[in-house]
Amino acid sequence: GLKALIFDVDGTLAETERDGHRIAFNQAFADAGLAWHWDVETYGRLLAVTGGKERMLHYWQGLDAEAASGPQARALVAELHRLKTTHYVRLVAEGGIQLRPGVARLLQQAREAGLRLAIATTTTPDNVEALLHATLGSSGMAMFECIGAGDAVPRKKPDPGIYAWVLERMRLAPSQCLAFEDSTNGWKAADAAGLRTVVTTGAYTARDMFPGALAQLDGLGDADHPAQGR
């Protein structure tokens, strides 16, 4: 039977990309004196590359392949990413990002039903902690038995590695779990790990198709915000 739910973070628990990560990347570029700026549309294209460091390196390679493959490139990207993470964590801690409708309710009800909860994400662990703390309070982190994030595995989504890492830690078979994702890269990762997946599409993925998903929804419903948007 079903034992656990495994959640992606960015795009699934919350709409973090356009008004969160994107803003933080641009602030880091400004801090570093770079003339780089990612507008909403550009960032949507860049989301094809998962992981912030990988995304910046990919962008830089498009601008100047030689410089981006030079000996200092990885160190500069790592420094930019540290700056970016600081900005993102602050933005989230200040309440700049909310959970998507229905997420808090699903987490609560799953816990009440005895299901185990986990996270499988490409984002940095500090970002996950900041989001869970800001949106679910001081007990938010403890709701999740296992948090697989960032560089815990060498290859990011669509590679199934982060899901395999979580399954191994929880000593569960894919058939005992259900994954929640929002994007093509995320769904591919879960699918390749053998998981059934519910896809809740969002701002950047509403036009994508997920023919192999268990279900493709535009969200989890808004029963925890009954009076809003009606």
Catalytic residues: 8, 10
The sign of the CA dihedral 30, 36, 40, 46 is negative
Asked whether position 11 contacts ligand XBP by CB under 6 A, the answer is yes
As a whole number of angstroms, the distance between CA 182 and CA 154 comes to: 22
Asked whether position 183 contacts Mg ion by CB under 5 A, the answer is yes
Nearer to Mg ion, 110 or 179 (CB): 179
Interface residue with Mg ion, options 5, 6, 7, 10 (CB under 5 A): 10
Asked whether position 186 contacts ligand XBP by CB under 6 A, the answer is yes
As a whole number of angstroms, the distance between CA 141 and CA 147 comes to: 9
Span interacting with ligand XBP, options 50-58, 109-117, 169-177, 209-217, rule CB under 6 A: 50-58
Asked whether position 121 contacts ligand XBP by CB under 6 A, the answer is yes
Asked whether position 186 contacts Mg ion by CB under 5 A, the answer is yes
Q: How far apart are the first and last CA of the chain?
A: 37
Contact, 161 vs 153, CB < 8 A?
A: yes
* Other beta carbons within 10 Å of 109: 10
Strand partners, 196: 178
As a whole number of angstroms, the distance between CA 158 and CA 179 comes to: 14
Span interacting with Mg ion, options 6-14, 36-44, 99-107, 130-138, rule CB under 5 A: 6-14
Residue type, position 143, single letter: M
- What is the helix (H) or strand (E) element at residue 104, kind and residue range? helix 103-112
As a whole number of angstroms, the distance between CA 70 and CA 185 comes to: 28
Binding mask 148-177 for Mg ion (x = CB under 5 A): ------------------------------
Nearer to Mg ion, 28 or 47 (CB): 47
* Other beta carbons within 10 Å of 15: 18
Interface residue with ligand XBP, options 26, 127, 197, 201 (CB under 6 A): 127
Quote the least distance from Cβ 70 to ligand XBP, whole Å: 22
Asked whether position 52 contacts ligand XBP by CB under 6 A, the answer is yes
Asked whether position 50 contacts ligand XBP by CB under 6 A, the answer is yes
Residues that bind ligand XBP (CB under 6 A): 8, 10-11, 17, 21, 50-52, 84, 121-124, 127, 157, 183, 185-186
